[in-house]
A and B are shown apart, each in its own frame.
Chain A
Amino acid sequence: MKSKIAAMSKTSRDNFKTYAMVLIVYVVVMIFQAAGLVSSQMSGLLVPLCVYATMAVSLNLVVGILGELSLGHAGFMCVGAFAGAFFSKITENSMGTFPRFFLAIVIGGLVAGIFGFLIGIPVLRLNGDYLAIVTLAFGEIIKNIMNVLYVGQDASGLHFSMTSATDLNMDGATGNLIINGPQGITGTPFDSTFTAGIIILMISLIVVLNLMNSRDGRAIMSIRDNHIAAESVGINITKYKMTAFTISAVIAGCAGSLYAHNLASLIATPARFGYNMSIMFLVFVVLGGIGSMRGSIIAATILTLLPEILRFMAGYRMLIYSIVLIVIMIVNWNPKSRAWLAEHNLSRFLFKKHHEKKEVK
């Protein structure tokens, strides 16, 4: 085994480390849980943790590999969550738990992928901060529409409305309201488990890491580093940008569907699917190191658990959280503090920055 690892190339070894890290954490958590050492608050955080880590990987594909700033990733997660939960609701009595949940995740990913593709067509024509604000706008629009969407099912099929539940004109006897406007979807089956979350995270990681080391991935990174040079050697910029953006949306949709199957009531609130959430994912990505998937997962884990660890400080915990965030960012990114840490052989404490974008003058 050991010689096999040694024989790997540097990137495969690095990827192997990332997979191993996730699996080790999984095994350790399972052992702790079996031994009854995980508090109920902590075990309640396990599925959200997988969701956030997967979202961080998904966003890192756009920010770190494609090099564009997206502030609307919570929107894709929202689409995936509603699509997945909707599917589970209408097939609740006709399918077994496992195939239903599996299909719900796939459908969440597919629907979000379609949205990602459609949104990508106009959005990817822009760049820089303009692209960021438009993705933010799309995320907010999705959240807003989910709040006025009513969908019901009766004997004659599905009914849609954007105004109220009574406008659905459903057959009273067989009518079943599934998406109830601002009340969202209630009673989605609780299918999400930590194991399922880890599997989704692992699959996303395998997809993204393999993409990064493929011909397509190198084409995407060449666009990030210098899109004019990339274009001049014949790389189809639109195609590769769309590929990265759509894959990222699919992953976000799967994470959203996972998230939905962990909630008693799925409502498109600003706290869950608003721009604040998208920004939080961006924090994971930047803190963990732009372009480093392992860093994203570590940062997502630390920042999700931090408020829980700081719970004993009651009201002060979010204040402390914000100060910690500012201090980590300054220590990590200030050129002087980086030089100081490197001088004292402490740079291993810095979050790694793979594939750091270099200034091209």
Chain B
Amino acid sequence: MVSFITNLINGISLGSIYAIIAIGYTMVYGISKMLNFAHGDIIMVGAFVAFIIISGLNLPAALGIIAAVIVCTALGIAIEKIAYKPLRHAASPLAVLITAIGVSYFLENAALLLFGSDPKIFTSVVPFTNVTIGPFLIPGTTLISILVSLVLVILLQFFINKTKPGQAMLACAQDRDAASLMGISVNNTITLTFAIGSALAAIAGVLLCSAYPSLSPYTGAMPGIKAFVAAVFGGIGSVPGAMIGGILLGVIEILGRTYISSQLSDAIVFAVLIVVLLVKPTGLLGKNIQEKV
């Protein structure tokens, strides 16, 4: 029982990191209706920036996190302006998907050239050590991951529902043309969404590498796909859905790895996703939009 609860907590911790990534994914999807395959690689860039500042230059961890967020935000905006914006009105929605794949290759290979393929050991940025509550030993990174993701979700919910830019995002996600008729700058709103999504990815990158301290150019790829799965799981486009999807995914992955098969843990995650989508084709919290003729 004790080991089960410890595994559950580890699952929630991994899940909350997935949740942060998935929220970025889902926001970008909601507003631009594109699958941003480069999102996972922005996580990797964030982790590398923090790694250089903290381990390379021996500066304080806080500075590393701030630098990672700034660099990733700028990167996210730049990617959107250079690679995605020219294709916003392309004839096929697949065009921008392929460009996103190109950006993903670009980031991975640029990191490969700069840092090499051998994994780096990332020093954890979490300032405090393990906590013992009763019979449970909870690592500091676990607590921090859960806390950070909770705080971020609450802040984001407040931002989206209570502030003007947040409302503009909702409006653009619902109907871009109508939003621009209401005087909302669609371009700026999309840029803002990419900026927020990328900043979240930077934080997720630092947390992910604090929990699993091996950093390579491909670190972000699989968490990126998992977060995409989490976003779909929860209903793509919905922020609370992404949070729930991420946490469930993390728990399923850790429990599956411990109790069923370590080699099949990814297969189990994907199998659960398939079952969920078959029962509820638009995800857990997704809206079922009736098609009109």
Contact residues of B with A, CB < 8 Å? 29, 35, 37, 83, 86-87, 89-92, 94-95, 97-99, 101-103, 105-106, 109-110, 112-113, 221, 225, 228-229, 232, 236, 261, 263-264, 266-267, 270-271, 273-274, 277-278, 281-283, 291, 293
Which of A211-219, A240-248, A325-333 is the contact stretch?
A325-333
Taken together as a complex, chains A and B put the C-alpha atoms of A339 and B251 apart, in Å, by 51
Taken together as a complex, chains A and B put the C-alpha atoms of A148 and B103 apart, in Å, by 33
- Residue A65, interface by CB 8 Å: no
B264, B282, B291: which contacts A228 (Cβ < 8 A)? B291
B89, B102, B228, B283: which contacts A322 (Cβ < 8 A)? B102
Known: A137-B270, A329-B87, A330-B86. A275 touches B225 (CB 8 A): yes
When the two chains form their complex, are residues A333 and B92 in contact, meaning their CB atoms are under 8 A apart? Answer: yes
Interface residues in A264-321 (C-beta closer than 8 Å to B) = 275-276, 279, 282-283, 286-287, 290, 315-316, 318-319, 321
Compute the total of residue contacts between A and B using a CB distance below 8 Å.
131
A133, A322, A332: which contacts B109 (Cβ < 8 A)? A322
Residues of B close to A134: CB separation below 8 A:
273-274, 277
When the two chains form their complex, are residues B263 and A144 in contact, meaning their CB atoms are under 8 A apart? Answer: yes
Q: How far, in Å, is B232 (CB) from chain A's closest CB?
A: 5
Residues of A close to B110: CB separation below 8 A:
319
Q: How far, in Å, is A310 (CB) from chain B's closest CB?
A: 12
Known: A130-B281, A138-B270, A330-B87. A325 touches B263 (CB 8 A): no
Known: A138-B274, A319-B110, A329-B95. A145 touches B264 (CB 8 A): yes
- Residue A346, interface by CB 8 Å: no
When the two chains form their complex, are residues B113 and A335 in contact, meaning their CB atoms are under 8 A apart? Answer: no
* A-B CB contact pairs (8 Å), 18 listed: A126-B281, A129-B232, A134-B277, A137-B273, A140-B267, A148-B263, A275-B225, A279-B101, A282-B94, A286-B94, A286-B95, A318-B105, A323-B102, A326-B99, A329-B99, A330-B87, A330-B99, A333-B92
- Smallest CB-CB A-B distances: 4 pairs: A137-B270, A322-B105, A144-B267, A333-B95
When the two chains form their complex, are residues A144 and B266 in contact, meaning their CB atoms are under 8 A apart? Answer: yes
Mask for A331-352, Cβ within 8 A of B = 1, else 0? Answer: 0111111000000000000000
Taken together as a complex, chains A and B put the C-alpha atoms of A140 and B229 apart, in Å, by 12
Residues of B close to A276: CB separation below 8 A:
221
When the two chains form their complex, are residues B263 and A286 in contact, meaning their CB atoms are under 8 A apart? Answer: no
When the two chains form their complex, are residues A69 and B94 in contact, meaning their CB atoms are under 8 A apart? Answer: yes
When the two chains form their complex, are residues B98 and A325 in contact, meaning their CB atoms are under 8 A apart? Answer: yes
When the two chains form their complex, are residues B98 and A283 in contact, meaning their CB atoms are under 8 A apart? Answer: yes
Known: A126-B281, A333-B92. A319 touches B106 (CB 8 A): yes
- Residue A159, interface by CB 8 Å: no
When the two chains form their complex, are residues B270 and A141 in contact, meaning their CB atoms are under 8 A apart? Answer: yes
When the two chains form their complex, are residues A125 and B83 in contact, meaning their CB atoms are under 8 A apart? Answer: no
- Residue A356, interface by CB 8 Å: yes
When the two chains form their complex, are residues A329 and B102 in contact, meaning their CB atoms are under 8 A apart? Answer: yes
Q: Which residue of B lies closest to A142 (CB)?
A: B267
